[in-house]
Amino acid sequence: MAEQTHPTIVDGWFREINDTCFPGQAFTLKVDRILYHARSEFQDILVFKSTHYGNVLVLDGIVQCTERDEFAYQEMITHIPLYLHTDPKKVLVIGGGDGGVIRELLKHQQLAEITLVEIDETVIRLAREYLPGMARGLDDPRVQVKLCDGFEFLRKASSAEQSEKYDVIITDSSDPEGPAEAFFQERYFRLLKDALRDDNSVVIAQTSENVWLNIKYLEDLTATAKKVFPNTRYCNTMVPTYTSGQLGLIVCSPDASKDLTTPARTPTAQEDENLKYYNPEIHHASFVLPNWADQLLNN
């Protein structure tokens, strides 16, 4: 059998080069071997074993996660909104077929129902095979997996009875190209708001960009979110294998008085034992921006 190849891998190095999302720079990882490559109905999917970061999932040429550092992203996008809510019971996850957010949600024993909406079944199948440490929670009885378009799912959820709506919604989408493009527009934020249970509810979404890569994009995105959620803040997490080592998150609440920078709850002793990155101090610190970025994003 011929050895697998991929156009992003040259001379044994994976290269993430995307002049649209990350102009003028690139990121590389040393490759041990390619584990899987194919094009699904929605996107190009590559899984390879790296020499130092374990297995790596790449969608349309952009690193989504590596086994070594994925927890830095999964914990922050999950626990920031969960600890901002005083008593979360029902959570919706849009995207995140790798299962990392689900794994983190299951650390919260008070959650009664978790719905994962993933458009590409191939991502779930590959995560079970190549990223078992992330996908291990997908079969938990509290988890419902819906294989459909997240935008269309939200349309239905936004018109549901109030009791059927969500305490927390997490948008764990890929970057704003292809099937994920609609997740970064005003109409999507309006659907998010309409799918929330009450003013105690919280929304979080990955922004793809950070302040070093494309501050203008983040200005536009936060301005768009603020049209729907006046209480909107940008924060970030440190992930070595994301281009420039940072990833931005945008947090929104219908409650204008809610302090998004301070957790409403703190981890129990049991929860704290299972956390590798998140803590209340990092929660607060993640919202602290350098002066030039703070002025642009928070006025």
172, 198, 220, 272: the catalytic one is 172
Cβ atoms of 193 and 171 closer than 8 Å:
no
Q: Cα–Cα distance between 164 and 147 in angstroms, integer?
A: 19
Task: Indicate if 139 belongs to the active site.
Answer: no
Q: Cα–Cα distance between 168 and 189 in angstroms, integer?
A: 13
Q: Give all strands of the β-sheet with 113-117 in edge-to-edge order.
A: 143-146, 113-117, 90-95, 168-172, 202-206, 246-253, 231-238
Cβ atoms of 38 and 24 closer than 8 Å:
no
HSE-up (13 A, CA, CB side) for residue 33: 5
Bridge pairing between strands 62-66 and 90-95: unpaired
What amino acid positions are annotated as catalytic residues? Answer: 172
